Amino acid sequence: MSVQHKGALALVTGGASGIGFAISRKLGEIGFKVAIGDLKNYEASAQELRNSGLEVVGLPLDVTDWDSCGRFVQNAMSHLGTDHVDVLVNNAGVIRDNLLIKMTREDWDIVIKVHLYGAFNMTKHVVDSMISKQHGRIINMSSLSWTGNVGQANYASAKAGLIGFTKTLSKELGRYNVTVNAISPGFIDTPMTRTVPEKVREKFMDRLSIRRIGQPEDVANLVAFLATDQASYITGEVIGVTGGLTF
Ligand code: NAP
């Protein structure tokens, strides 16, 4: 894809690892300035992308913390020399899988906080600037698990909540040319899924139409498209990147 977005700023939460890192690389490659926000490894990840000639900064971010989100947005704009945010990718995530009967309150809280409060906190800090620019892209990382998946009551609830958030914001913000979409990946090879036992991974293989585990780049390619002007008439959608996986 050619460079089309010189100077536009994209924020990627959870951008130091897995899918977020691939998104950061891809957005950088198509010309965005990118700010990676993460709990750790943000600087090393950004340096790796800078070594490839991309304009990327890595900054500390805890999406569950309102003030941390505000600082991240301000720091990203000042480091990258711009006064507004063009693209927000709400990608940070955690899993704490367990059957409901064994799930602790802490496992419930942290998953809801990272995904739902995280997307709310970050979106609140960029939305005014998108409205005043009459342009913006918000991309929320949901999951196929939103449809229900054994052992993931917390995660499925958070990811389903993100879809309600996406669809509502798309209705509120469309008049300002701010599009809001959700991506629903299936099983993607990242540090998050590498903890899944081999037996369970094999089960996933049986349920795939395309007989390979997804790669972070499979998701990043869709994010890159949604971030561009080519996707200006797509909003309120939940788009799967699943290789045909069903649960
Ligand atoms: P990953 O490699 O674990 O990356 C997630 C990143 O988010 C990590 O760097 C993590 O940091 C960071 N993070 C966690 N809590 C955070 C917080 N409070 N503030 C800021 N950053 C935080 O996982 P991934 O597979 O790339 O997942 C990316 C997104 O895709 C997640 O939303 C996930 O739910 C979603 N997704 C993944 C799959 C899949 O198959 N991999 C499928 C569907 C959806 P730590 O490592 O320090 O926790």
Domain boundaries, the chain: 9-236
SS3 106: helix
Question: 5: Cβ–Cβ under 8 A, 6 or more apart, which residues?
Answer: 27, 30, 31, 32, 86, 227, 228
pTM as predicted? 0.98
Q: What architecture (CATH level 2) is domain 9-236? A: 3-Layer(aba) Sandwich (3.40)
> Minimal CA–CA distance to 214: which of 179, 233, 237, 241?
241
pLDDT digits (tens, 9 = 90+) for 214-230: 999 999 999 999 999 99
Q: Return the pLDDT at 193.
A: 92
Packed helices 153-173 and 118-133: angle between N→C axes, nearest 10 degrees: 10
**Which regions in the chain score pLDDT beneath 70?**
1-4
Q: Return the pLDDT at 196.
A: 85
Q: Return the pLDDT at 37.
A: 99
Q: Return the pLDDT at 204.
A: 85
Q: Return the pLDDT at 197.
A: 86
CA of 93 to the centre of ligand 1 (A): 3
Is position 155 annotated as part of the catalytic site? yes
Q: Return the pLDDT at 145.
A: 97
CA of 137 to the centre of ligand 1 (A): 20
For residue 69, how far is the Cα from the chain centroid? 15
Nearest atom within ligand 1 for CA of residue 92: 7
**Catalytic-role residue among 42, 117, 155, 233:** 155
Q: Return the pLDDT at 195.
A: 85
Q: Return the pLDDT at 247.
A: 84
Q: Return the pLDDT at 4.
A: 58
Q: Which of 23, 36, 38 to mutate to test the pocket of ligand 1 (most atoms within 8 A of CB)?
A: 38
CA of 14 to the centre of ligand 1 (A): 6
Pocket of ligand 1 (CB under 6 A): 13-14, 16-20, 38-40, 61-64, 91-94, 114, 141, 143, 185, 187-188, 190-193
Q: Return the pLDDT at 156.
A: 98
